[in-house]
Amino acid sequence: MIKNICCIGAGYVGGPTMAVIAKNCPGIKIDVVDIDINRIKAWNSSDLKCLPVFEPGLEEIIKECRGKNLNFSTDIKKGIENADVIFISVNTPTKLNGLGAGYASDLKWIESCARQIAEFLKGHTIVVEKSTLPVKTAETIKNILDSSQFIGSNTKNKSEKKTFTIISNPEFLAEGSAINDLQNPDRVLIGGEDEFSISKISCIYENWVDPQKIIITNLWSSELSKLVANAFLAQRISSINSISALCESTGAKIQEVSRAIGADKRIGNKFLNSGPGFGGSCFKKDILNLVYLSRFYGLHEVADYWEQVVKINLWQQKRIYSLVIKNLFGTVSNKKLAIFGFSFKANTNDTRESPTIEISRDLLQEGATLTFYDPKVKEVQIVNELKDIECEGNWFYCKTSFEAAEGADAVLILTEWEEFKNIKWSNLYNIMRKPAWIFDSRNYIDSNSLKNIGFNVWTVGNP
């Protein structure tokens, strides 16, 4: 019976995933630990609006479980010592320097995590890779744990020997729907060699997941499947975005094309919404990792094929930025543009790799003044995302959509926040400079009603 779980990494995956396990397994005590004191403070905040991660449904579970069987702490040693199972949920971003820079995953956080586990491990522990990792990372973790199996323990006393098994259990949640995805997953993937440990991990999930949805594979298939799942999803977005440009040139309409092709069950109707390109911390990083792995194994055609998905994504963002300029009489210098949405998708406060960053950067460099409004993103996050551009004084953080649009020449809808649908667009039109433009990169607002108000409207994938 698993009694104690430790999750290392209290981020977008560690926090929500452990919250859902805690809710469904009241008999298991869970410690979520992190080196980031501020993050842990925020998880422990009495004001649930201050949790570090915004996800619909998360606050309710934290309210129910925190302080009972779910604890957030910086005491990594204690968490590891007590654990029967350790989930590694630390970040694995793309390497910025050195060998493989720009492609390979930076595994320094994984390594430091493995070293912490090696140091504090007690008895037999199942170490679970929850982070997304390059294939064969389990071998690295095993090497680190193997080499320090006896450190800190009495080697003469066999009962104090530290033993472990490594299991891969990648996470497939999408931000914005994380709680629902965790509560009702399409599948749970468990990869490993040790049947006993696999069954222990499976038992945790069986508390709320249909056993038929639990897929067991070997370690390497599990690690690779996670990268491939993200690559396939991202590929669909680049595919539909490439066609959006063709629609704009030919008179076809992207939503009609999406509907027509999506009606074919073999294609399916999900993930066919054209937009400003995919953002988020996962797709780009995981494809680049796949590209790196393919090159490493000498499979250059495979690498080139997948890299094109990332290239099209950037191209779509550049395309949107340049057509904004084109439509605003070829210049945005001294013009005010209101950016609606900074998170990479709706229902999350996460801004990592948000298309808004790239598009804003280009507009700021063209001399535009930008105002940002996002229902969940804080000013400090925008400061952080734009810190490498010389644009101080050229952008403003706004608390409402109307404040952002006051006197603006254009509104750019870059994130599909539900509340944008409820804006009184006729009132917004009245406070903008004319001609007033809407650039709807998500086909989110009814363009005919906007045109009737008097707006000039551009929507992605429409002539």
Q: What is the DSSP string of 335-367?
A: -EEEEE--SSSTT----TT-HHHHHHHHHHHTT
Residue 410 touches which member of ligand NAD, ligand UDX, none, C-beta under 5-8 Å by kind: none
In angstroms and rounded to an integer, the radius of gyration of the C-alpha atoms of the chain is 24
Q: What CA dihedral angle connects 387, 390, 393 and 399, to 10 degrees?
A: -30
- Kindly state the smallest distance separating residue 138's Cβ from ligand NAD, in Å: 14
Strands 336-340 and 410-413, by their bridges, are: parallel
212-241 footprint of ligand UDX as x/- string (CB under 6 A): ------------------x--x---x----
- Kindly state the smallest distance separating residue 303's Cβ from ligand UDX, in Å: 21
Verify binding: residue 284, ligand UDX, rule CB under 6 A: no
440 sits in which H/E element: strand 437-440
Number of residues that bind ligand NAD (CB under 6 A): 28
- Kindly state the smallest distance separating residue 339's Cβ from ligand NAD, in Å: 23
Q: What is the DSSP string of 414-427?
A: -S--GGGGGS-HHH
Give the one residue of 35, 203, 261, 423 binding ligand NAD; rule: CB under 6 A.
35
Stretch that binds ligand UDX, among 191-199, 243-251, 280-288, 394-402 (CB under 6 A): 280-288
List the interface residues with ligand NAD, window 110-129 (CB under 6 A): 112-113, 116
What is d(CA 361, CA 368) in angstroms, rounded to the nearest whole number? 10
What is d(CA 449, CA 426) in angstroms, rounded to the nearest whole number? 9
Residue 89 touches which member of ligand UDX, ligand NAD, none, C-beta under 5-8 Å by kind: ligand NAD
Q: What CA dihedral angle connects 164, 108, 116 and 224, to 10 degrees?
A: -20
Residue 165 touches which member of ligand UDX, ligand NAD, none, C-beta under 5-8 Å by kind: none
Stretch that binds ligand UDX, among 55-63, 213-221, 271-279, 317-325 (CB under 6 A): 271-279
Verify binding: residue 130, ligand UDX, rule CB under 6 A: no
What is d(CA 65, CA 59) in angstroms, rounded to the nearest whole number? 10
With contact defined as beta carbons under 8 Å apart, do 1 and 78 qualify?
no
Give the one residue of 52, 134, 275, 375 binding ligand UDX; rule: CB under 6 A.
275
Query: Residue written as tokens 């069987």?
Result: 69
**Is residue 282 annotated as part of the catalytic site, yes or no?**
yes
Left, alpha or beta for 443 (phi > 0: left; psi -120 to 50: alpha)?
Answer: left
The catalytically annotated residue of 6, 7, 25, 282 is 282
Stretch that binds ligand NAD, among 11-19, 143-151, 353-361, 418-426 (CB under 6 A): 11-19
**Residue nearer to ligand NAD on the CB measure, 285 or 336:** 285
List the interface residues with ligand UDX, window 334-353 (CB under 6 A): 344-345
What is d(CA 52, CA 110) in angstroms, rounded to the nearest whole number? 22
Verify binding: residue 92, ligand NAD, rule CB under 6 A: yes
Task: Please give the positions annotated as active site.
Answer: 282
Task: Kindly list the residues in this chain that would bind ligand NAD in the complex (CB under 6 A).
Answer: 8-14, 33-36, 39, 76, 89-92, 109, 112-113, 116, 131-132, 171, 173, 175, 281-282
